[in-house]
Amino acid sequence: MRLLVVEDDPDLNRQLVTALSDAGYAVDSAADGEDGHHLGDSEPYDAIVLDLGLPKMDGISVLESWRRNGKMMPVLILTARDRWSDKVQGFDAGADDYVAKPFHMEEVLARIRALLRRSAGHATNELVCGPVTLDTRSSRVSVNGNPVRLTSHEYRLLAYLMHHNGRVVSRTELVEHLYDQDFDRDSNTIEVFVGRLRKKLGIDIIQTVRGLGYMLSPPADAS
């Protein structure tokens, strides 16, 4: 899953990017409203963390422009604790949730998980496909209750497919949502990660749809 952080405070920006990256997400960042607006308008993010008090272009204007342009990704806004009017304005502009500054990083992580879960139509942090379970809260994967160790890219790939369980996902879509902006993207690496995942999971849940991409579906004999 790929996220964007738009925050002008360099320390907070770095803290958010680090925490979200450590949680298993591919993360891009911007330090002002113009750059943030451009990235959100041109890249396919799964969710965005957006500060409202930004230089060059304020957060409300950025969000309103995204929504006018048909961008539907979930947006978590960051607001000053004593500015309730910012929260109202943010929701009216199209925000999905907010966190008031100062905040605990765990709250941001939990709200991002909830936004991603709801946007994909899931009710809990545990995503299940046959005997495979992925816990987005702990970033742990298990098969029939037995833990499976994955690399960060393998985890991102499985998490994206499990969030979109039952839908064919193209290689291009996977590349766009698994790697941050600075990563040397190569669709051929997706095949490598899929091969590794199949081997580590030990069961046939990742189906290749010829000419289209991949689809997650439980094994025929799964209960």
pLDDT at 221: 56
Same domain membership, residue 95 and residue 187: no
Nearest CA among 71, 100, 102, 104 for reference residue 87? 100
Task: Tell whether 66 and 36 lie within a shared domain.
Answer: yes
Residues 63 and 151 in one domain: no
User: Where among 102, 119, 136 does a domain terminate?
Assistant: 119
> Residue 44: inside a domain, yes or no?
yes
Regarding whether 187 and 162 lie in a shared domain, the answer is yes
Within a domain: 39: yes
Are 84 and 111 in contact by the 8 Å Cβ rule? The answer is no
Q: Residue 120 has what pLDDT?
A: 79
- Among residues 103, 119, 135, the one where a domain terminates is 119
59 close to 34: Cβ distance less than 8 angstroms:
no
Kindly give the parts of the chain with pLDDT less than 50.
223
For residue 26, tell me if it sits in a domain.
yes
Quick check: is 131 in a domain?
A: yes
User: Which residues lie across from 48 on neighbouring strands?
Assistant: 4, 75
CATH code, domain with 90: 3.40.50.2300
30 and 84 in a common domain: yes
User: Is 146 found in the same domain as 61?
Assistant: no
Find the CATH number of the domain harbouring 150.
1.10.10.10
Of the candidates 60, 89, 119, which is a domain's last residue? 119
Give domain status of residue 223, yes or no: no
Please name which of 120, 152, 111 lies closest in space to residue 23, comparing C-alpha atoms.
Answer: 152
Q: What is the DSSP string of 99-120?
A: EEES--HHHHHHHHHHHHHHHT
Q: Which domain holds residue 175?
A: 126-216
Residue 137 belongs to a domain: yes
In the chain, how many domains are there? 2
Q: Output the pTM of the full model.
A: 0.81
Same domain? For 105 and 170 the reply is no
For residue 196, tell me if it sits in a domain.
Answer: yes
